[in-house]
Structure 1
Amino acid sequence: MDSNSNCNGKVVLSEREKDCLRWVAEGKSSWEIGKILQISDNTVNFHLKNAMRKLDATSRTQAIVKAMRDDLI
Protein backbone atom coordinates (compact mmCIF):
# COMPACT_ATOMS: atom_id res chain seq x y z
CA MET A 1 0.00 0.00 0.00
CA ASP A 2 1.17 3.51 -0.83
CA SER A 3 2.12 5.72 2.12
CA ASN A 4 0.08 8.54 0.54
CA SER A 5 -3.21 6.69 0.95
CA ASN A 6 -5.24 5.23 3.77
CA CYS A 7 -6.46 1.64 4.03
CA ASN A 8 -9.30 2.40 1.59
CA GLY A 9 -6.83 3.49 -1.08
CA LYS A 10 -7.92 7.13 -0.88
CA VAL A 11 -5.29 9.85 -1.03
CA VAL A 12 -4.68 11.57 2.31
CA LEU A 13 -3.64 15.24 2.19
CA SER A 14 -2.32 17.17 5.17
CA GLU A 15 -4.33 20.16 6.37
CA ARG A 16 -1.59 22.49 5.07
CA GLU A 17 -1.66 20.82 1.65
CA LYS A 18 -5.44 21.28 1.57
CA ASP A 19 -5.12 24.93 2.65
CA CYS A 20 -2.64 25.64 -0.13
CA LEU A 21 -4.76 23.87 -2.77
CA ARG A 22 -7.88 25.78 -1.67
CA TRP A 23 -6.08 29.11 -2.05
CA VAL A 24 -4.67 28.12 -5.46
CA ALA A 25 -8.25 27.28 -6.48
CA GLU A 26 -9.16 30.86 -5.50
CA GLY A 27 -6.51 32.14 -7.90
CA LYS A 28 -3.84 33.07 -5.36
CA SER A 29 -0.12 32.92 -6.14
CA SER A 30 2.39 31.13 -3.94
CA TRP A 31 3.53 34.51 -2.62
CA GLU A 32 -0.06 35.54 -1.76
CA ILE A 33 -0.78 32.18 -0.11
CA GLY A 34 2.42 32.54 1.91
CA LYS A 35 1.28 35.93 3.21
CA ILE A 36 -2.18 34.58 4.05
CA LEU A 37 -0.86 31.49 5.87
CA GLN A 38 2.16 33.33 7.29
CA ILE A 39 4.67 30.94 5.72
CA SER A 40 7.25 31.47 2.96
CA ASP A 41 6.35 31.01 -0.68
CA ASN A 42 8.96 28.21 -0.77
CA THR A 43 7.00 26.41 1.96
CA VAL A 44 3.79 26.92 -0.01
CA ASN A 45 5.46 25.37 -3.06
CA PHE A 46 6.72 22.48 -0.91
CA HIS A 47 3.17 21.69 0.25
CA LEU A 48 1.74 22.05 -3.26
CA LYS A 49 4.40 19.76 -4.75
CA ASN A 50 3.67 17.13 -2.09
CA ALA A 51 -0.06 17.38 -2.83
CA MET A 52 0.60 17.12 -6.57
CA ARG A 53 2.76 14.03 -6.03
CA LYS A 54 0.13 12.38 -3.83
CA LEU A 55 -2.60 13.17 -6.37
CA ASP A 56 -0.42 12.10 -9.31
CA ALA A 57 -0.97 15.51 -10.89
CA THR A 58 1.36 17.30 -13.29
CA SER A 59 0.03 20.80 -12.60
CA ARG A 60 -1.60 22.81 -9.84
CA THR A 61 -4.80 22.94 -11.85
CA GLN A 62 -4.89 19.18 -12.29
CA ALA A 63 -4.21 18.73 -8.56
CA ILE A 64 -7.16 20.99 -7.70
CA VAL A 65 -9.49 19.14 -10.07
CA LYS A 66 -8.47 15.74 -8.66
CA ALA A 67 -8.72 16.95 -5.05
CA MET A 68 -12.18 18.42 -5.66
CA ARG A 69 -13.33 15.31 -7.55
CA ASP A 70 -12.26 13.14 -4.61
CA ASP A 71 -13.85 15.53 -2.05
CA LEU A 72 -10.46 16.29 -0.48
CA ILE A 73 -10.99 20.05 -0.66
Structure 2
Amino acid sequence: MPRDNDCERNVALSQREISCLRWLARGKLSWEMGKIMNISENTVNFISKMRCESSVRPAGFRRSL
Protein backbone atom coordinates (compact mmCIF):
# COMPACT_ATOMS: atom_id res chain seq x y z
CA MET A 1 0.00 0.00 0.00
CA PRO A 2 1.51 3.36 -0.99
CA ARG A 3 2.30 5.87 1.72
CA ASP A 4 0.94 9.38 1.62
CA ASN A 5 4.02 11.60 1.88
CA ASP A 6 1.89 14.55 3.00
CA CYS A 7 1.41 12.79 6.34
CA GLU A 8 5.16 12.56 6.84
CA ARG A 9 6.07 16.25 6.63
CA ASN A 10 7.48 17.99 9.66
CA VAL A 11 5.98 21.27 10.79
CA ALA A 12 7.86 23.71 12.98
CA LEU A 13 5.76 25.30 15.72
CA SER A 14 6.65 28.47 17.60
CA GLN A 15 6.76 28.44 21.38
CA ARG A 16 3.55 30.50 21.40
CA GLU A 17 1.80 27.95 19.14
CA ILE A 18 2.96 25.05 21.31
CA SER A 19 1.76 26.79 24.46
CA CYS A 20 -1.58 27.64 22.88
CA LEU A 21 -2.14 24.06 21.74
CA ARG A 22 -1.24 22.71 25.18
CA TRP A 23 -3.78 24.99 26.87
CA LEU A 24 -6.36 24.11 24.21
CA ALA A 25 -5.79 20.39 24.84
CA ARG A 26 -6.38 21.05 28.56
CA GLY A 27 -9.76 22.53 27.76
CA LYS A 28 -9.07 26.23 28.22
CA LEU A 29 -11.25 28.72 26.37
CA SER A 30 -9.80 31.33 24.01
CA TRP A 31 -10.26 34.22 26.42
CA GLU A 32 -8.67 32.20 29.25
CA MET A 33 -5.64 31.34 27.12
CA GLY A 34 -5.34 34.98 26.10
CA LYS A 35 -5.20 36.05 29.74
CA ILE A 36 -2.74 33.29 30.70
CA MET A 37 -0.44 33.95 27.72
CA ASN A 38 -0.88 37.75 27.75
CA ILE A 39 -2.08 37.84 24.13
CA SER A 40 -5.40 38.81 22.58
CA GLU A 41 -8.27 36.37 22.24
CA ASN A 42 -8.13 37.02 18.48
CA THR A 43 -4.51 35.83 18.37
CA VAL A 44 -5.46 32.69 20.27
CA ASN A 45 -8.32 32.03 17.84
CA PHE A 46 -6.03 32.56 14.86
CA ILE A 47 -3.42 30.11 16.17
CA SER A 48 -6.07 27.56 17.13
CA LYS A 49 -7.83 27.75 13.80
CA MET A 50 -4.62 27.74 11.78
CA ARG A 51 -3.18 24.70 13.53
CA CYS A 52 -6.24 22.63 14.43
CA GLU A 53 -8.54 23.02 11.46
CA SER A 54 -5.91 22.80 8.74
CA SER A 55 -4.68 19.59 7.17
CA VAL A 56 -1.56 19.86 9.34
CA ARG A 57 -2.40 18.70 12.84
CA PRO A 58 0.25 18.31 15.49
CA ALA A 59 1.13 14.68 16.14
CA GLY A 60 -0.89 13.19 18.96
CA PHE A 61 -3.20 16.18 19.24
CA ARG A 62 -6.88 15.34 19.82
CA ARG A 63 -9.64 17.71 20.66
CA SER A 64 -11.51 16.77 23.81
CA LEU A 65 -15.30 16.76 23.68
Question: TM-score band, normalised by the shorter chain?
Answer: 0.5 to 0.7
Give 2:39's aligned residue. 39
| Percent identity over paired residues | 49
Give 1:26's aligned residue. 26
Structure with the higher fraction of residues in helix conformation:
1
The normalised TM-score by structure 2 is: 0.66
Give the count of matched residue pairs: 53
Give the 5 Å matches for 1:1-73: 9-52=9-52, 53=54, 56=55, 63=57, 67-69=58-60
* Bigger Rg over Cα: 2
1: distance between equivalents of 2:59 and 2:35? Answer: 24
Q: What's the secondary structure of 1:69's corresponding residue?
A: coil
Q: What's the secondary structure of 2:28's corresponding residue?
A: coil
The normalised TM-score by structure 1 is: 0.59
Paired letter, 2:17 = E
Alignment RMSD (CA, Å): 2.2
Please state how far the C-alpha of 1:14 moved relative to its aligned partner.
Answer: 1.4
Unaligned runs of 5+ in 2: 1-7
Unaligned runs of 5+ in 1: 1-7, 58-62
Please state how far the C-alpha of 1:68 moved relative to its aligned partner.
Answer: 4.2
